[in-house]
Structure 1
Amino acid sequence: MISVNEAANIAAEYMKGFFPNTDFIQLEEVEITDDKLYWFITLSYNEESAIRNVFQLNTPTVLRKYKQFKIDSESGEVLAMKIRDIK
């Protein structure tokens, strides 16, 4: 079985493969299913928005985005990557 550190690193590398310009990746949540078959890893990252602040016209707004990964705990294969809404 892969460790939580390995699962988090797998998720981060997977995300960088699709979003190579992603900045400031941070581990937010980890969970293993009760049957220990899957890791759920939530990562956050900065995304620059095209929306500009009225008072800072030259400064782009930076938004924190979240992705959740489902990873097979035996093979380390990423089975899913989903948008994770944090409210």
Structure 2
Amino acid sequence: MLEVKEAVRIATEYIQTLFNEKQIPELRLEEVELTPDNRFWEVTLSFVVREPTAYLSLGDAARTREYKIFRINAETGQVQSMKIRKV
């Protein structure tokens, strides 16, 4: 079975291959959970997205954090899915 650190590494590398690394500002680990049946790791990562706004002087107010949940097979390490997590 995959260790938790390995599942986090896989999710982090996976998101960086999907998006240009420079487009993932402030990537951070939020949550990790093994499913009750021990088949999958669910890893939640978040990153900052700048919302388009007419008021560029708002600074941080125009920034939001997006959350993605990665389901990783605990035996093979394959990413099974990536979903949007609403907070």
TM-score category by the smaller chain?
0.7 to 0.9
Q: Which runs of 4+ in 1 moved over 4 A?
A: none
**1:74 Cα deviation after fit:** 0.6
Deviations 1:14-61 (A, max 9, x none): 11111221111111111101221100010010111112447x16x472
Which residue type is aligned with residue 15 of structure 1?
A: I
TM-score normalized with structure 2 length: 0.87
Instruction: Give the RMSD, CA atoms, in angstroms.
Output: 1.7
TM-score normalized with structure 1 length: 0.87
Matches of residues 46-85 of structure 1 in structure 2 within 5 Å?
A: 46-53=48-55, 56=57, 59=59, 61-85=62-86
Return the match for 2:43 from 41, 50, 75: 41
- The percent identity for this pair of structures is 39
2-structure distance, mates of 1:28, 1:10: 15
Distance change (3 Å), C-alpha of 1:31 and 1:50: same
- 1:4 corresponds to: 4
User: Which structure shows the higher strand fraction?
Assistant: 1
- 1:13 corresponds to: 13
Q: Name structure 2 gaps, 5 residues minimum.
A: none
Q: Name structure 1 gaps, 5 residues minimum.
A: none
More divergent stretch after superposition (77-86 vs 9-18): 9-18
SS of 1:50's partner is coil
Count of aligned pairs between the two proteins: 84
